[in-house]
Structure 1
C-alpha cells in the first residue's frame, strides 16, 4: 500500500452511513384478557400523570383502591369479547403494520413497534433501535390528533428513556396527522363503501374524550378556549387543542365524503368520573338523533387508527344497542385503517416527507 493511499481521506457517502430508526407507538393493551393482566394495564395507564392529572397521592388512591380493583373484572369481560385467537387486535394490527412498513421503507430503515403501556414497551423498542447505530430516530405516535394524554405522554416516555444515552441520534416526532391526505382518504374510502350499500340519514364522528380541564390547561393564551365557537376553525391559537383538532378532522372527512350540513355530528366518548369532559357526549347525542327521526346512522371513530375496545365494542356494539333501543333501525361502525395499504402509504409519507 503506497504512502499516497494511506494519506487519502476516508471517503463516505451519506447513503453508506445514514440509517433511520422508526418507532411506531400505539396506546397499549393488556397482555391477556385475564383480570390480573387487565388490572396491571389499568394501573400503568391511569397512573400516568398526563392521563389523570391530579396530585400523585390522590391519583394513587383513586386508581389502586377504587378503579383498578372494581373496574378490572368488568373490563376483562369486555376484552374477552374483543380478543382473537391470536391475541389483542391492537397488537395484531401493530405487528402487521410494522412488517408492511419495514418492507416498503427498505433496508435504510429499521422499524420497531411499541405500546405506551404494557408490551412491547417504548423502552425495549428504543433499546433495539439503539443497537443499530442510527443517524436518526423517527417516533410516530398512532394518534391523529395531538393530546397531552396521548402524544405528549409518548414524547415524555421517549425522552425519559434516551436522556442518559451517551450518543443521541437526531430524534423527530410526528406531532399529529389529522390532515394528512392519505389518512383522510383512508376513512373516506371506507365510508363510501358503506354509503354505496345503504342510504344513511346521519353520520356520527365519535372521538375519545378528555376532561375539560386538560383542554383549558393546554390553552397557552389563557383566554382563547371557550368550548364553543373557538373550535370552528383550526389556527395557530388552538392548533394543539384536542377538541379543535377533532372538529377539524370531521370537517375534512365531511368534505371528502360529500356529506351536507345538518347531516353529521361530532361527539366524544369514553368519559371517566364525575368531572366535566369535552362535549357533546356520544351516548347523549344518540337519543337526540333518534328523537329527530334518524333511523340509519354511519359511525366513524377517527381518533383511532386500529380497531380496539373503544371502536369495536363501545362504538360498534354499545352505541348500536342504545341507538336501536331509542328507535333507530341501522347503526354501522366504519372500521379503522388497521393495516390497510393506504395507511401504510400514509406512514411512509410521514416518515420520508415530513412536510406532507
Structure 2
C-alpha cells in the first residue's frame, strides 16, 4: 500500500468553545449572539426564529446591552471571572498551544482557535493553509463528544475547508474521555489536595445538555433514557459510543478507579441548565441540596472533568454560586479540584494524542 509523503509540516488546530473579547456588555453581546445562534446549540427552533430570539432578546438582556444603566447577568459574571491575564480560557489555551508546539518541534504548525469569537477557526485555519501544511489535525479541547461542542467545531472546519480548492488531509479528533494521562492528572490533582476521606462525598459535575440532544444521538431511537439514572449510561457500547452522557459517566468511573473510590462515595451530575426543558440528570444543584439537607454533608470535593481550563462554569458557577447555595442548605465548603490549565502533564498528554492522531 502506498503511503502518502508529507512534504509540508503537519498542522494542528486546538479549539475551545470561546470567550468574549472583553468583559463588557458589547463584547459579551457579540459572543452570546454568535454562540446561541449556532443551530447545534439551540436545536429546537427554526433559523429565523432563533436569530430573532437570540439577537433581539436573549443576548441583549443577558449582556446588559439592552439596559445601559444596569450590567447584564452574563457580563457581571465575566467581570468576576476576568483576571489580569484576561479570560482564563483563552490565556491557558495560548499557553497550551505554545507549549504543544515547542514539544512537537519543527515538523508541526500549531494554532489555537475558538469556536466562537477570537481567535476564530477561520483565521487559524488560514494561517495553517498559508503555511502549506500537508495535513490538519483538529483537536477540540472537550474530552467528551457532544454535538453542540465537538460536533459544531468539526462542522465549522469542514464548512470552511469545503470552500478551498486544495484540501489537505484532515484528522478529526472525536473524544478522549478515558485517556489514561488525562485521567491521572485529574486524580493526582485531587490527591494533592489532601486526604479524600476528609470529604463527606465527591461530585463529578459536567456541563449539561438538553435531553432531546442526547436522544437525537441514539441511532436506535429506543436505547437512550437521557436521565442519568438508567443503565444505558453506565457502560459504553456501540449504540451509545458517541453519547455525551455515557462518556461523562465513563470519565467518572475512570477517575474513581484511579483513586480507588467506592461507588457510594461519589455522584455524577450535570450543571448549567437553561430554560424549562429537561436536561441531562441528575442536576448538580439538586445533588448538592440533597447531600446538605438529607445526608448532612458538610465538606464536598468537586471535579469538573468536562473542562480542561478554568472558566465561567468552574470558577464562578461551582466555586462561587454553588458554594453559596450549599452553605445556605447547611453545608460548609465545596473544594474544587484544580483544572488542567497549563499543567505540564496535561500538555504532555495532548502532545502524545496529537502524535497518534496525526
- TM-score for the superposition, normalised by structure 2: 0.93
* Alpha-carbon contact 2:137-2:357 (below 8 Å) kept: no
* Residue of structure 2 in register with 1:266 after alignment: 268
* Residue of structure 2 in register with 1:344 after alignment: 347
Post-superposition Cα deviations, 1:168-226, rounded to whole Å, max 9, x if no partner, equal 11000110011111110110110111133871120010000001100111111111112
Q: Distance in 2 between matches of 1:261 and 1:247?
A: 12
What is the SS of the residue equivalent to 1:262?
Answer: helix
| Offset of residue 69 of structure 1 | 1.7
* Residue of structure 2 in register with 1:80 after alignment: 79
* Alpha-carbon contact 1:23-1:139 (below 8 Å) kept: yes
| Offset of residue 294 of structure 1 | 1.2
Answer with 171-180 or 252-261: which moved more. 252-261
Q: Distance in 1 between matches of 2:185 and 2:142?
A: 15
Q: Distance in 1 between matches of 2:30 and 2:338?
A: 28
- When the two chains are superposed, the root-mean-square deviation of aligned CA atoms in Å is 1.6
Matches within 5 A, 1:286-301: 286-290=288-292, 291-301=294-304
Q: Distance in 1 between matches of 2:85 and 2:345?
A: 24
Q: How many residues align?
A: 343
* Residue of structure 2 in register with 1:59 after alignment: 50
What is the SS of the residue equivalent to 1:110?
Answer: strand
Answer with 14-23 or 183-192: which moved more. 14-23
Matches within 5 A, 1:25-44: 25-44=15-34
* Alpha-carbon contact 1:29-1:91 (below 8 Å) kept: yes
Q: Distance in 2 between matches of 1:77 and 1:32?
A: 12
- Higher CA-based Rg: 1
* Residue of structure 2 in register with 1:283 after alignment: 285
Q: Distance in 2 between matches of 1:58 and 1:285?
A: 34
* Alpha-carbon contact 1:174-1:350 (below 8 Å) kept: no
Match 1:19 to one of 2, 5, 9: 9
Q: Distance in 2 between matches of 1:66 and 1:17?
A: 50
Q: Distance in 2 between matches of 1:197 and 1:232?
A: 24
What is the SS of the residue equivalent to 1:284?
Answer: helix
| Offset of residue 14 of structure 1 | 8.2
What is the SS of the residue equivalent to 1:98?
Answer: helix
Moved over 6 A (4+): 13-16
| Offset of residue 58 of structure 1 | 2.4
Post-superposition Cα deviations, 1:252-290, rounded to whole Å, max 9, x if no partner, equal 111111111211111111111111111111111101011
Post-superposition Cα deviations, 1:275-326, rounded to whole Å, max 9, x if no partner, equal 1111111111101011212111000110000110001000111111111111
Match 2:315 to one of 312, 315, 326: 312
What is the SS of the residue equivalent to 1:195?
Answer: coil
* Alpha-carbon contact 1:186-1:342 (below 8 Å) kept: yes
Q: Distance in 2 between matches of 1:127 and 1:133?
A: 10
| Offset of residue 143 of structure 1 | 0.5
* Residue of structure 2 in register with 1:90 after alignment: 89
- TM-score for the superposition, normalised by structure 1: 0.93
Q: Distance in 1 between matches of 2:6 and 2:295?
A: 64
Structure 1 regions of 5+ residues with no counterpart? 1-12
Q: Structure 1 pair 158/60, CA: closer, same or farther in 2 (3 Å)?
A: same
Matches within 5 A, 1:1-356: 17-53=7-43, 54-72=45-63, 73-196=72-195, 199-227=198-226, 228-290=230-292, 291-354=294-357
